[in-house]
Amino acid sequence: MNRFGNFDSKFKLAAGLLLALATSFCLLAISLSVAHATMKPNRSSTSVPVFGPPTDIVKLTIRPGWRGSKGRSAIHYAGLHIQLAKGWYTYWRKPGMYGVPLQADWTGSRNLSEVEILWPTPTLIGTADVMVLGYRDAVTLPLIVRPHRADEPVAVRARIFFGVCKEVCIPVMQTVSQQLSPQLRKPDPTILAAIAHQPPLHIKTQSGPGFECNFTASDGRIRVATRFGPHEQFRDSLPLAVFEYFRPGIRFGSARVTRGSDGSVFAMAEAIADETFDSSRLLVSLFSQQGARQFKGC
């Protein structure tokens, strides 16, 4: 979740890295960045290229969506749409060892309490040796926008840092803006489809497919071992496993995945921990060419 006003050190570090990376990319990428860094935005545009590739390679817009509710709270459903030229791709929220995760700074917005980005199921891109999670050609990331004042418009303005790749990878920072009116009531089919395309989520306390999880904590490290019962989606090849912990202070490294004699999948990962480990915050995702599943809790 990206909270309004939380322009934290991670985003600042990413922006600094972006500047450093831009100077070390190939001459083509640098020339594209310089050529477009000084572009003045079209008055009707919702996307301003700060620097990065030209808009015929990547363009960001915000789909205005519709105003709804969740319980007693007003919710505005919008969508961050990333349009890429054919053959280009961008990354999922945790793209793997070699990818660049998207980061957003919403501090230029008005009447915005917080924003949550939802992530449709990504595809596996690359080879068995170098595999990343991402989206080819285009993707709409649903935005769950919570306004301070339910009956007023939300003026969304965000700086988005992300990476795009084809034969080369290019860092991008663009500014997007959109007015989200409370009068918008008709759901957007594109945003609805993206919400529905998220991986199925299984909570450990609920009944569902076989999932076992154990963890140990010692010497400032967390070791998590999981076992997933045989699944049709993971029968032909080992899935890519991603361990996430939605709280600062604990970050998991790359997972090791093996298969048991009965077809079960075993995934193990470690993290350096500077706080108490709350196993209910753990999310393990499995991805294959046949689909994806997410398991929460341990």
Output b/e per residue, 146-160; b: 16+ Cβ within 10 A.
bbeebeebbebbbbb
Average pLDDT of the segment spanning 231-251? 85
What's the topology of domain 2-196? Immunoglobulin-like (2.60.40)
Q: Looking at residue 52, what is its pLDDT?
A: 59
Per residue in 130-185, pLDDT (tens digit) is: 788 999 999 999 999 999 999 999 999 999 999 999 988 889 999 999 999 999 99
Average pLDDT of the segment spanning 184-209? 86
DSSP class of 25: S
Average pLDDT of the segment spanning 87-106? 88
Report DSSP letters for 119-137, one per residue.
----EEEE-SSSEEEEEES
If you count them, how many residues does the chain have?
A: 298
Runs of H (alpha helix) within the chain: 9-24, 27-37, 189-196
Cα–Cα distance measured from residue 266 to residue 268, given in angstroms and rounded to the nearest whole number? 7
Say if 2-196 and 201-296 have the same CATH topology. Answer: yes
Domain boundaries, the chain: 2-196, 201-296
Task: Pull the structure tokens for residue 36.
Answer: 């477009």
Residue 121 pLDDT greater than 80, yes or no: yes
Cα–Cα distance measured from residue 227 to residue 212, given in angstroms and rounded to the nearest whole number? 5
Cβ atoms 35, 17 nearer than 8 A: no
What's the topology of domain 201-296? Immunoglobulin-like (2.60.40)
Task: Pull the structure tokens for residue 113.
Answer: 């309490």
Cα–Cα distance measured from residue 88 to residue 138, given in angstroms and rounded to the nearest whole number? 9
Output b/e per residue, 79-90; b: 16+ Cβ within 10 A.
bbbbbbbeebbb
Average pLDDT of the segment spanning 17-27? 43
